[in-house]
Structure 1
Amino acid sequence: MSVNKLKIDERRKKILEMLRRDGQVRVAQLSKQLGATVVTIRSDLDALERDGYLERTQGGAVQSAKNFYHMELQYRRQKNADIKKQIAAAAARMIHDGDTLLINSGTTTYFTALELKQHKNLNVVTNSISLAVELGSVPTFRVILLGGEINTQYSFIYGEDAKRQLSGYKADYALLSMDGICRHAGITTYHAEESVIDRLMIERSQKTIIVADSSKIGHESFSHVCALDEIDFLVTDAAASASCSELDETGITVVSS
């Protein structure tokens, strides 16, 4: 029974992967590609629909909004996950028990949050829903999730209410995940609505730590956050050494994982 269950799980996982890639699937197509009967595939689709992962259509299924957001989040976390975990561990070593942190949303800050669980008595203010849930489970931590508007796709809080609340806090470190680190453009992010929160986190902190893999160096993203000279530390991977000339004479201390 356990072997059969494993086969079912693997088959349904493949169905969800195809949904993420194509947005829709057909029963006949799945039957052929997965080597299962049409009856079996229909049963799989019915079960996945009950769990909220897809919506059944005539002869197939389409991706539900819930599943789209869930799988996009999982995909972003899995991309370069080993590198991000190394960066996260290096960043967490820079933090001391009892520190107060302002942390934004992002996959690298999420992995850093997991590493921070080894500390004690941290005070954390964040706009990341998933990060607040993770750190809120640590008994010695005090975790504050900013209130405001919700970006449901990327699971973060933004807006005027979040800004007003954030303005009332002061921290030892801003710990930020960013999409672009470039000499002429400075620090940039994909999310314009979060860039305002990022800037305020920098202003309200004694020191700022950026966690970003080497692919972000030399890259300019959509929305400007701040100039390079406003950043104190960049924690990145070993492959960044070839790109670090981009940061010469900026005053940023580069920490390699």
Structure 2
Amino acid sequence: MRRGASRDKPGARVVQPPVVYVHGLGSASTVYHAHVAADPRLATRRQLFVDLPGHGISDRPSGFRYTLEDHADALAAALDAAGAVGADIAGHSMGGAVAIVLAARRPDLVSRLVLTEANLDPNPVPKAGSSGIASYNEDAFVRGGSFAAVLERVDPLWAATMRLADPLALHRTAVGLVRGTRPTMRHLLMSLPIDRTYLVGDVDNDLPGRAELAASGVRVEVVPNAGHNIMFDNPQAFINAVAGEAPRVTADAYKS
């Protein structure tokens, strides 16, 4: 089992669970989350920024399959090594899908999930980054120039971290994300007996099945003035959620 790399920001000796940040596809945890860590509501907490295998500063083994389950097992190994049990996991996009799988496989490691536009279903729409990357043949993406072409098309923020990812790892991770899990990430999330918050930005606000999620106990929060990268677009709302201060939304507030 390979471990993802993590950076650990110790907090004061307060009896609170550690916060673990898990990035999205082609991203890196510190870039997307370090700016929120100094907020007074989080600064006293132990905080870990984990780069999944093939991303950021982590190892990039060529023999790794990079499925969601593999990433979850690597995340578990990193948390075991750090002694971070019962953590609050803040997972963005693909990282949220990995966090869901982790919570299902290793419930001892997770006490709460804060998911930012996490992938819940296999075969996302073609406009999604994972679907676009997975549509390439692996060899063409890794050695045929397709990776460079994708870097030219994505927005500059994503490109800045994606270029740090290993092309093989990025492609296999995208394929694994498109394939999803069985049961699906959505069904795993709905069955978890822990506190769960799902953040969706109001720019698209295209979360399907939200009433069903809310009915299962998932707290769905629509964040104003935010797109997919809520931690940048509305950092205070993101911090509120990670700190456990997000307002509760009832199931009857949604129609789907």
Q: Same fold (TM over 0.5)?
A: no
Structure 1 or 2: more helix by fraction: 1
TM-score, reference length from structure 2: 0.28
* TM-score for the superposition, normalised by structure 1: 0.28
Q: Which has the higher strand share?
A: 1
Larger Rg: 1
Flag the structure with more relative contact order, 1 or 2, with Cα contacts below 8 A and sequence separation at least 6: 2
